[in-house]
Amino acid sequence: MKRDFDLVIVGGAMAGAGAAALFASNAKTSALRIALLEPKPVTAPAAGEPLDLRVSALSRASQRLLELTGAWPAVKARGAAAYQRMVVWEERATPDGPGALHFDAAELGELDLGHIAENRAVQAALLERAMAEGVVLLRAGFASLASGDDAIRVATTDGREYGAALVIGADGSDSAVRSQAGITTRGWDYQQRAVVTHLSCERAHRDTAWQRFLDTGPLALLPLADGRVSLVWSTTPALAEELVRCGEDEFAARVTAASAGVLGRLEATTARASFPLRLLHAERYAAARIALIGDAAHTVHPLAGQGINLAFMDVAALVDVVGTALEAGDDPGELAVLRRYERWRKAEALPAIALLDGIKRLFYGGNEMQSRLRRAGLDLVESSGPIKRLLMQRALGVAGEVPASVRRPP
Ligand SMILES: Cc1cc2nc3c(=O)[nH]c(=O)nc-3n(C[C@H](O)[C@H](O)[C@H](O)COP(=O)(O)OP(=O)(O)OC[C@H]3O[C@@H](n4cnc5c(N)ncnc54)[C@H](O)[C@@H]3O)c2cc1C
């Protein structure tokens, strides 16, 4: 089978665009011929255009990937906002009393804990850098796969076919690459939706990410560069529906009350939307000539802002593994090579998934007794240096084995 490309990446949102840009710019993999398949048009936000509804908390490790690919200046120019602190508290506690957790970048000697960045800016900047490095953008959908011994063939929705050494599935939670590869998943619907909008706030956010665990789900206020905060309110589908549909004054009253007035009166400054939440984990991240990254491999609850950060570390680990294989003269699509990627990333992702799912369950629902236990647990973490440090390192994305392709030089 003829190889038209070395890599075909299916899906050009943040994970797929990140893979295209890092493979194309890393010294060990930059000679690869890469195609990226994405049917939806992507345009970089114009200067002065209002901030899109979807933003993400990016870890320091993710920032490093964006810096190394050359995408960071454009993301920063779109107002990516550094946050220095994080405050987490339980519904029956107060942000500055017992039952609250405080993370501060200064405790780790870091400048910040991460940045809140616009998804669309991240995706567009990575795509632009990938194309500048020679990645071919194919404006079509993925249709099917056919495996051969020395290549894999990708058929697209516009009737074309491309042979490749390796196909990377970055096509999200409902990955067609994953199902075509026969990879099964485990997981469940959380029966929750996340309501998102940007809010003006009466009191300054103080470059702090605020998260209150309500019995019906966590409410997060992420600081934006223009003084507003981005809301991610995970709640029951019925309440989410009401919150998206109710009038502006009612919404302002409800979100202000739900955040316990921590930033004074909050008012929506943009449209409101809600997204379904689920947990999904692929049984395998690799098959012969196929690797899964991002939400195609693992979809997690947004409560700790881990989804895209896990995805970017998948990308970096895959670049490391493929780079090492190329140096050794091995075929990057061989299952033995891809299994190394799978073992590495499963070992990192599974504990993160278990932790997020555990937190979600621990803080969901409950009575006064459970609430007391939760507050005691938060107090324990607050007073325990090592556990708190580990959680902060995880938030920064510097816990575990950081791939060489995004590691800071010593
Ligand atoms: C409300 C909310 C808040 C969140 N906040 C955070 C946060 O603060 N920090 C964080 O790290 N994560 C966060 N996440 C998670 C994060 O948004 C996701 O993990 C991340 O966007 C997944 O990116 P992806 O590229 O893997 O998948 P997706 O964004 O789902 O992209 C998949 C891409 O594949 C393309 N595609 C699909 N099918 C095909 C096909 N057949 N052919 C070709 N292309 C195809 C699609 O067009 C799309 O572009 C949040 C999630 C939610 C819901």
Reported as a single tens digit per residue, the pLDDT across 248-283 is 999 999 999 999 999 999 999 999 999 999 999 999
What pTM did the predictor assign?
0.95
What separation in angstroms does the CA of 8 have from each of 28, 183, 403?
17, 18, 22
Ligand 1 nearest-atom number relative to CA 306: 11
Q: How far apart are CA 187 and CA 168, in angstroms?
A: 22
What are the structural domains, with CATH classification, of the chain? 5-81+116-187+279-365 (3.50.50.60)
How much is the pLDDT for 410?
65
CA angle, 317 then 321 then 325, to 5°:
165
Least reliable range by pLDDT among 198-202, 324-328, 358-362: 358-362
Strands (E), 183-333: 185-201, 208-214, 217-223, 229-235, 266-268, 273-282, 286-287, 290-292, 298-299
How far away, in angstroms, is 301 Cα from ligand 1 center? 12
Question: Is it the case that residue 11 has pLDDT exceeding 80?
Answer: yes
How far away, in angstroms, is 315 Cα from ligand 1 center? 14
What separation in angstroms does the CA of 73 have from each of 107, 215, 236, 327?
27, 40, 38, 31
Q: How far apart are CA 27 and CA 324, in angstroms?
A: 11
Q: Residue 229's beta-bridge partner residues?
A: 199, 223
pLDDT band at 72 (very low <50, low <70, confident <90, very high): very high
Reported as a single tens digit per residue, the pLDDT across 20-36 is 999 999 999 999 999 99
Pocket of ligand 1 (CB under 6 A): 10-16, 37-40, 56-57, 141-142, 170-172, 176, 194, 196, 232, 275, 294-295, 302, 305-309, 311
Which residue is closest in CA terms to ligand 1's atom 3? 302
Q: How far apart are CA 19 and CA 34, in angstroms?
A: 10
Question: Is it the case that residue 362 has pLDDT exceeding 90?
Answer: no
Tokens encoding 241: 């529906």
Distance, C-alpha 312 to centroid of its chain: 8
Contact of 145 with 287, CB cutoff 8 Å: no
DSSP H or E run through 172: none
Which residue is closest in CA terms to ligand 1's atom 22? 295
pLDDT band at 135 (very low <50, low <70, confident <90, very high): very high
Mark 315-326 as b/e (b = at least 16 C-beta within 10 Å): bbbbbbbbbebb
